[in-house]
Amino acid sequence: MIENNGSDADGPLEEGALTLTDSRTGADYRLDIEHGAVRAAGLGQVRANSEDPGLAAYDPAFKNTAACISRITYIDGDKGILRYRGYPIEQLAEGASYLDIAWLILNGELPTPAESASWRAEITGLQAVPDPLPRMLDGFNEDGHPMAMFIALLSGLGAQHPDSKNVTDAGCRAFHIKRLIGAAPTLAAMTYRRGKGLAPVAPDEDLSFPANFLRMVFGEDAHIDPTLERAMDVLFILHADHEQNCSTSAMRGVGSSHADPYSSAAAASAALYGPLHGGANEAVLKMLTEIGSKDRVNDFLKEVKSGSRRLMGFGHRVYKSYDPRAKIIKRTAYEVFEVTGRNPKIDIALELERIALQEDYFIRRRLYPNVDFYSGIIYEALGFPVGLFPVLFAVPRMSGWLAQWQEMLEDPEQKIARPKQLYLGYDERPVPAG
């Protein structure tokens, strides 16, 4: 990037214009700055001659590309700010329920008491899944990964709802959004029970969303402690949405072809499964188990600083400061430990954080704990197996994926997602004779 030093802007940063001179032709261009961005289509007007297709913006991994306009979630990575529809995550995690947050994320406002009650009744009425689905899991070994099962079940549920392909119909979208939010915990619990060789537990409509989930996982006779029920609800709230992360981009991308929401959610779940994304909570627990004790933390961090491995649960594409969700999860862990007993792995995690935040390697790269660093310690204390952790991320993120999917379909500027490439391969060449 070549720049002629100007002076700091003293007006609004969001509007203005960029003027460019193309050194190939001497032509000058003006690109309007809107919402802090320039339209890549404007670059397409910069042509060296009549055959030139125009400039493209090259941005591998979309590190500096806005793919959409959204009004759902706002993140300030430098200040560690996360807001759903303008409300700070810290305040929402204090008193709201996950289902009310799902309504907020989807509809833009917190529900009235009447809306909240009817919404909860609708969702709990859509939690049961039809018989063929449990039998689908007979195709998996008991030690099959729960996330692989969850992805398959989403696709199987979609096959039960062929009408969901009618994605341009608002009423159809609204029903299947509720269906997916309602069924997600049921499918998740089924993957856990398959792993234990146990039959699924049917949802109980009289219980709260988190209590119902815990009961479907741990059985009809499980005692659901109110502190643990609340901790699950807080974890669901914290994981509900996070703007254009990898899995949400997959939801939007697959949904842009007008695939049904079940197939799009299966694709989003597949993206979330990766250890660099939602699979990190599982990778963190395995890392803490491998480290084994506080006194081995320094040796482990030496390997990380050598570049031979990553400190899972640390770092983020957007947060270059402490992930606000990690702060809340860390606090929630101690509330859970009051009931379950302290998970000793938290001492290893705290030591990793203490040392890493003082080390130049992490400071220079602005690496801090993210949402996945402490969540798995809670999940393990609650009795979930480590393979279920990414599924526990997918259950609440379902509402965020669906809100983003809905926003994409309602955006008149959105079309099928199909980026360009810069082709640097062979020019035309003849197939060898013989």
The stretch among 3-11, 126-134, 211-219, 305-313 that binds ligand SDX (CB under 6 A) is 305-313
Annotation marks residue 277 as catalytic: yes
404 or 406: CB nearest ligand SDX: 404
Q: Active-site residue among 76, 161, 225, 277?
A: 277
Chain CA centroid to CA 72, Å: 13
State the residue for tokens 């159809």. 172
Smallest gap from residue 150 Cβ to ligand SDX (A): 17
93 or 216: CB nearest ligand SDX: 93
At residue 190, φ and ψ (nearest 5 deg) are -60, -35
Q: Which helix (H) or strand (E) is 28 found in, with range?
A: strand 28-33
The stretch among 105-113, 146-154, 226-234, 316-324 that binds ligand SDX (CB under 6 A) is 316-324
> Between the CA of residue 318 and those of 63, 175, 324, what are the distances in Å?
9, 33, 12
Site string for ligand SDX, 33-72 (x = CB under 6 A): ----------------------------------------
Smallest gap from residue 426 Cβ to ligand SDX (A): 30
200 or 369: CB nearest ligand SDX: 369
Residues 233-252 that bind ligand SDX (CB under 6 A): 242, 245
**Residue 315 found at the interface with ligand SDX (CB under 6 A):** yes
* Neighbouring residues of 161: CB distance < 8 A, sequence distance ≥ 6: 176, 179, 260, 262
The residue count for binding ligand SDX (CB under 6 A) is 21
**Residue 316 found at the interface with ligand SDX (CB under 6 A):** yes
* Neighbouring residues of 415: CB distance < 8 A, sequence distance ≥ 6: 256
261 or 313: CB nearest ligand SDX: 313
DSSP state of 281: H
DSSP state of 111: P
**Residue 179 found at the interface with ligand SDX (CB under 6 A):** no
Whether residue 80 contacts residue 324, with contact meaning beta carbons closer than 8 Å, is answered with yes
Question: Cα(182)–Cα(93) distance, rounded to whole angstroms?
Answer: 20
Smallest gap from residue 14 Cβ to ligand SDX (A): 23
Query: What share of residues in the chain are helix, strand, coil (percent, to 5)?
Result: 55, 5, 40
364 or 415: CB nearest ligand SDX: 364
Whether residue 410 contacts residue 298, with contact meaning beta carbons closer than 8 Å, is answered with no
DSSP state of 387: G
Question: Cα(158)–Cα(164) distance, rounded to whole angstroms?
Answer: 7
Annotation marks residue 221 as catalytic: no
State the angle between helix axes of 113-124 and 170-195 in degrees (0 to 180), rounded to the nearest 10.
Answer: 60
**Residue 372 found at the interface with ligand SDX (CB under 6 A):** yes
The stretch among 65-73, 106-114, 185-193, 314-322 that binds ligand SDX (CB under 6 A) is 314-322
* Neighbouring residues of 133: CB distance < 8 A, sequence distance ≥ 6: 153, 156, 157, 160, 187, 190
Residues linked to residue 175 through DSSP beta bridges, in sequence order: none
Whether residue 376 contacts residue 176, with contact meaning beta carbons closer than 8 Å, is answered with no
Annotation marks residue 145 as catalytic: no
Smallest gap from residue 311 Cβ to ligand SDX (A): 4
Residues 184-243 that bind ligand SDX (CB under 6 A): 242
183 or 251: CB nearest ligand SDX: 251
* Neighbouring residues of 167: CB distance < 8 A, sequence distance ≥ 6: 173, 255, 258, 259, 260, 261, 409
**Residue 370 found at the interface with ligand SDX (CB under 6 A):** yes
Q: Which of 262, 314, 389, 401 binds ligand SDX (CB under 6 A)?
A: 314
**Residue 277 found at the interface with ligand SDX (CB under 6 A):** yes
**Residue 313 found at the interface with ligand SDX (CB under 6 A):** yes
Smallest gap from residue 214 Cβ to ligand SDX (A): 22
Rg (the chain; Cα; Å): 24
**Residue 101 found at the interface with ligand SDX (CB under 6 A):** no
> Between the CA of residue 349 and those of 80, 88, 342, 369, what are the distances in Å?
20, 26, 13, 10
Question: Cα(243)–Cα(251) distance, rounded to whole angstroms?
Answer: 12
229 or 372: CB nearest ligand SDX: 372
Smallest gap from residue 272 Cβ to ligand SDX (A): 8
The stretch among 95-103, 140-148, 369-377, 403-411 that binds ligand SDX (CB under 6 A) is 369-377
Q: Which of 129, 154, 285, 304 binds ligand SDX (CB under 6 A)?
A: 304
Question: Cα(171)–Cα(173) distance, rounded to whole angstroms?
Answer: 5
* Angle at CA of residue 366, ends 365 and 370, nearest 5°: 120
Smallest gap from residue 80 Cβ to ligand SDX (A): 12
Binding site for ligand SDX (CB under 6 A): 242, 245, 276-278, 280, 304, 310-318, 365, 367, 370-372
Catalytic residue list: 277, 316, 372
